[in-house]
Structure 1
Amino acid sequence: MSQNFSTFNSLSYTEAVDLCLSLADFERATHSPNHSDFHLDRMIFLAGLLGDPQNSVPSVHIAGTKGKGSTSAMVASIIDASGKNVGLATSPHLHSLRERIKFCMRSIPKDAFAKLVSDLWPFVKQTSVEGKHGGVTWFEFMVMAAFYYYATKQANIQVIETGLGGRLDATNILSPEVSVITSISLDHTKILGDTIELIAKEKSGIIKRDTPVVVAPQPYGDQAYSVIAEVASQHSANVLDVGSAYELSAEPNDIYTQNVVVSGNIDEYAFKLPLLGAHQAENAATAIAVSETLNLLGFELSTSDIKDGLEAVHWPGRLQVLQDDGPIIMVDGAHNTHSALSVVKTIKEMKRSELLKINRVILVFGVLSGHDSLGVLGQFESLASLIVPVTSRHPRSSPSDFLEEQAQKLGIGLVQHSESLLSVREGIELALSVAGIDDLVLATGSISVAAEVIEWKENIVPELYPNIPTGIEGKT
């Protein structure tokens, strides 16, 4: 390594971040390994050195294309409402990598993260030298750090979201109490496969023998469900199909919340959910199904715990309202065609019910390379009057001039500007300069775009990683 660090026992937080980010980072890299290069051998070896911390705490393991993060946050919030100590491991993060490791719904403190890096680093080095499977990646490190932290904190239960896929995801060394598969759609097709069936098979790789499986409502129906059910049958795992077993109704209450009623197997739950859209209501029903399953396994979660947890859930960057008048500003991390369609449907429904009284929608749009930018943008064609393409800090962010070409193909009007590339800050400020008081400015296309608009609006100072190239050097 080219950097000089303090002794591992006295790392500052900044040094700890730099040290762990010196590992290979395929999440932010401009290229990814072939799927055939993914395996669990390195994680199994590292876990063995640490005494298999992943199995020290009962787990809920959640995979899916869309909704896995939201569902993870909902399940964790329900457990937290019951007074239990819950770990929540998710990705990606918005402003700080500490968000990926939450305990009792709070991000790991800086000093605790620095200690984690200090404690784990000798084992990371040992794995790289003795494990015969290459060096530990950054994502693998962060997953193992979460497992180790929750074990040392003696968490009552941990909710673990997969990163990519399921079968070969670094999280898949768990022996969970419940496996959960959320909505499956087309995404990461070069890695996971180009059909719903192939992607469903990869996601189903988290299913374990004799372990209950909760399956969220599937937009592609039996194309996904039949594959999941077959894998579950092979593992003697009982399947709870939320779409057929639970009744759900939802209607928007205002531009911040919706009223949801779910009839479960144990009780009926009526609550005000602070996340918008029919897709989030389905995620809530899935979280209830997970909670009822945990109840049957001996984890006590009352009806009031479930309601309180869902009403208290905090999961920013998902149809989040940052300004509710003159003009309205909303952000969403939609990055594939299905999630973009969900956003469009939700906004149109709110317009129809007159909860959202707007004239034009001005789109601030940026995507990461490897995603179907034309397909995602095409979903917004019927909604957006104008578009401001932007390039975020993320190293894989597509150039805004490329997105301008995509918008022109679709016939969406461009807001004119003189810059060759627009940062997210420049883009949101440009959009607001042409927006009327009755317009909606919607920033979307990737979670990194949503995060940067939140930072701009709420004066959040993000973590910057100077040793990793950014999408636009020197711009925020």
Structure 2
Amino acid sequence: MIHNNQDALDWIHSRLQVGIKPGLLRMEWLMERMDHPERRLKTVHIGGTNGKGSTVTYMRSILQAAGYETGTFTSPYIEQFNERISINGKPIADEEITQLVNVIKPLAEELEQTELGGPSEFEVITAMALYYFAYVHPVDLVLFEVGLGGRLDSTNVIHPLLSIITTIGMDHMQFLGNTPEEIAFEKAGIIKNGVAIISGVKQREAKEVIFKRANEMQSTVYQMGEQFQSSWQQSLSTGEAFHFQSVFANMEHLHTGLNGLHQTDNAAIAIMATLYLKTFHSFLIEESHIREGVEAAYWPGRMEQVCHRPVILLDGAHNPEGMTALVNSLKIRYPQRRITALFAGLKDKKLDEMVSLLHQAADSVICTTFDFPRAAGYEEFEPLLNEQTMWRADWDEYIKEFQGSAEGDQLFVVTGSLYFISEVKRLFTKFY
């Protein structure tokens, strides 16, 4: 029996030693023993390489504006573990985490003794979320973000009202494949029989894979650029202005609550999803709810401004596609600024490509490391260092130095791994 939140978290994180274990057999075993909580839920399943978290946020914000109590399951967290299971944007309580662990832990220990082996950390957390929304705090709808890939991801035990694939990018290739087609095949594994799919995918070859899978599953595809699209208009002091067009409705002069040109696409996917729920599942969602929800959306670590003088931004651009989106937004939003970027990534990412991309917007790039098992260190960054790309291990001291010496036109961007962004966010929450 677990008696407090810290012991509960320690047990959850102890499952990290199991590693990543793609496959659904362990989840199906757990669901059977838990009386199938996944069958009691109304859900939307959100997969893709980038944009999942932002799309979830826009959808949740729109549904909340329409009066629906909306659960979310997301990863990783930025400020506290509890964020991963939330209702209307509010993380569940510490005592609820403890309660859920006391349900799951005996089952995990029993599963450990079978030929399937014990569940991974992510499988444990997924099971906790399913149990919570089914039995502890039922809600009107749950938005489930895929952890890794889709076909073999532990969240794929749900049968949703709607599936979403935001983007396809070259990430997690050791698990998902080395081409856009192979990665798209894994992402398309969340498409269920007769369940519509909303796609923001742009590569022709990846779209072909998704359309083929949807055809096999007799699922309707709503493709960005065909059945719906966003038209960016301008950057605002906070957020972006855009128009939305679709087979369901057209809306002009929408404002996102998140900065970044790519956020208009994420918002458009969310709008299309909520319009689908309204049209085919009787959700009472009006245009005013969509406008209010899109503008009110907040998601930490996405071009988030944490300091005004000097301007300091946090952005979890952890792969080349995410870095490209950040660079494009910096060029448009801050064309006259002198930009310094602080970058930390994981060893298995394309560090050289991301640093090269950063230099398209930043005058100098400072590489660093942080306390995480997979974090890249000096050895990984050393071949990239030169006059414009430097190394500082003490990133927290460097941030303080920049704040103390920055001039009016300087801008500081902290980017890279979301695990790193989480550490930096905690620093600003504690001291600034």
TM-score (norm 2): 0.94
Q: Are 1:344 and 1:383, in contact at CA under 8 Å, matched by a contact in 2?
A: yes
Query: Given the alignment, which residue of 58, 65, 87 partners 1:103?
Result: 87
Partner residue of 1:468? none
Offset from partner CA, 1:325-376 (integer Å, 9 cap, x none): 3x21111000111111111111111134xxxx42x21111100111111111
1:328 is the counterpart of 2:311: yes
Provide the residue aligned with 1:377 in structure 2: 355
2:11 corresponding residue in structure 1: 19
2:113 corresponds to which letter in structure 1? V
- Cα deviation code 1:168-214 (max 9, x no counterpart): 00100111110100111111112111100000000000000011111
Residue 86 of structure 1: CA displacement? 1.1
Name 2:241's counterpart in structure 1: 259
Range 240-249 or range 109-118, more displaced: 240-249
Q: How big is each residue's C-alpha offset from its partner over 1:229-248, in whole Å with a ceiling of 9 and x where there is no partner? A: 00000111111112212242
- 1:241 maps to which of 177, 201, 223: 223
Alignment pair present for 1:366 and 2:344: yes
| Cα distance, 1:77 vs structure 2 | 1.6
Residue 27 of structure 2 aligns with which residue? 43
* Counterpart in the other structure of 1:450: 421
Is the CA contact 1:425–1:452 (under 8 Å) kept in the aligned structure 2? no
* More divergent stretch after superposition (110-119 vs 224-233): 110-119
- Structure 2 residue runs of 5 or longer lacking an equivalent are none
Q: What is the distance in 2 between the residues matched to 1:317 and 1:203?
A: 24
Work out whether 1:57 is the aligned partner of 2:35.
no
CA distance in 1, matches of 2:90, 2:17: 25
Q: For 1:18-417, what aligned pairs fall within 5 Å after superposition?
A: 18-25=10-17, 38-130=22-114, 132-152=115-135, 153-216=137-200, 218-220=201-203, 222-269=204-251, 270-295=253-278, 296-325=280-309, 327-352=310-335, 357-358=336-337, 360-400=338-378, 402-408=380-386, 412-414=388-390
Q: What is the CA-CA distance between 1:25 and the residue it aligns to?
A: 4.9
SS at match of 2:385: helix
Contact kept? 1:389, 1:401, Cα under 8 Å: no
Given that residues 76 and 419 in structure 2 are in contact (C-alpha distance below 8 angstroms), is that contact kept between their aligned partners in structure 1? Answer: no
Contact 2:50–2:168 under 8 Å retained in 1: yes
Q: CA RMSD in A?
A: 1.9
SS at match of 2:139: coil
Report the alpha carbon displacement of residue 68 of structure 1 after superposing the two structures with TM.
1.0
Match of 1:474 in 2: none
After TM superposition, give the deviation of residue 423 of structure 1 in Å: 3.8
Could you list the per-position Cα deviations for residues 43-72 of structure 1 after superposition, in whole angstroms to 9, with x for gaps in the alignment? 000011001111211110011001011111
CA 74–82 in structure 1, closer or farther in 2 if over 3 Å, else same = same
What secondary structure sits across from 1:414 in the alignment?
strand
* Change beyond 3 A, Cα 1:98–1:211: same
Aligned-partner SS, 2:243? strand
Q: Which amino acid aligns with 2:293?
A: G
Q: Secondary structure at the match of 1:276?
A: coil
Could you list the structure 1 runs, at least 4 aligned residues long, displaced by more than 4 angstroms after superposition. none
Q: TM-score, normalised by structure 1?
A: 0.86
Distance 1:372 1:430 in 2: 28
Structure 1 gap ranges (5+): 1-6, 27-31, 416-420, 462-476
